[in-house]
């Protein structure tokens, strides 16, 4: 996703709802979020570029989950 202030779109297809704390992590803490529009899958990356494993986001799908 490209932030709107960097020329990104502002329509619903480009939005991802975040609470205030997580929103600040993305903008001020250098975390990165990618949304796959074809599958709806969200990928999160730490400031050092390593992937952050999310828990299952859809019923019936299981993936490994790590806690920090």
Q: Which domain holds residue 31?
A: 16-57
Cα separation of 15 and 59, whole Å? 22
Q: Indicate the helix (H) or strand (E) that contains 52.
A: strand 51-52
Residue 23, in any domain of the structure: yes
Alpha carbon 17 to its chain's center? 9
Residue 2, in any domain of the structure: no
Residue 4, in any domain of the structure: no
Whether this prediction's pTM lies above 0.85 is answered by no
Residue 30, in any domain of the structure: yes
Contacts of 22 (CB under 8 A, 6+ apart): none
Residue 26, in any domain of the structure: yes
Residue 34, in any domain of the structure: yes
Q: From first to last of its 68 residues, what are the pLDDT tens digits of the chain?
A: 677 778 877 777 777 888 898 888 888 888 998 888 888 888 899 999 999 987 666 555 555 444 44
């Amino acid at each position: 996703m490209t932030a709107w202030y960097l020329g990104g779109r502002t329509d619903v297809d480009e939005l991802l709802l975040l609470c205030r704390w997580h929103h600040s992590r993305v903008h001020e803490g250098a975390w990165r979020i990618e949304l796959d529009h074809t599958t709806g899958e969200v990928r999160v990356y730490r400031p050092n570029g390593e992937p952050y494993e999310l828990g299952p986001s859809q019923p019936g799908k299981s993936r490994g989950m790590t806690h920090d």
